């Protein structure tokens, strides 16, 4: 694997699995459906970050990253309120 593929793999693992799965688990435990849906959307968009890295699309990477962070912020806001 080259450098981009390794970086994309770590994006899949760290961002998609650990952070978003933690938000999803907390949302399920507290029975907060909007927070779960925001976290699920963020996980789906974070999945495509790796593909943007592999295919060397920096603008697409930035757009998807912004979308994913916005959905995480929505999930956290839904949990807090």
Sign for the pseudo-dihedral over CA of 25, 18, 74, 76: positive
Helix (H, G, I), strand (E, B) or coil at 31: coil
Q: 52-72 pLDDT, tens per residue? A: 878 888 899 889 889 988 999
Residues of 23-52 as b/e, b for ≥16 C-beta within 10 angstroms?
Answer: bbebbeeeebeebbbbbbbbbebbbbbbeb
Going by pLDDT thresholds of 50, 70 and 90, the confidence category of residue 31 is very high
Q: What is the pTM of this model?
A: 0.78
């Amino acid at each position: 694997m080259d450098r981009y593929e390794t970086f994309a793999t770590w994006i899949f693992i760290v961002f998609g699995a650990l952070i978003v799965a933690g938000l999803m688990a907390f949302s399920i435990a507290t029975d907060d459906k909007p927070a779960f849906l925001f976290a699920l959307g963020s996980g789906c968009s974070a999945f495509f970050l790796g593909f943007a890295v592999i295919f060397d699309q920096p603008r697409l990477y930035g757009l998807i990253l912004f979308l994913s962070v916005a959905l995480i912020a929505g999930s956290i806001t839904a949990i807090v309120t």
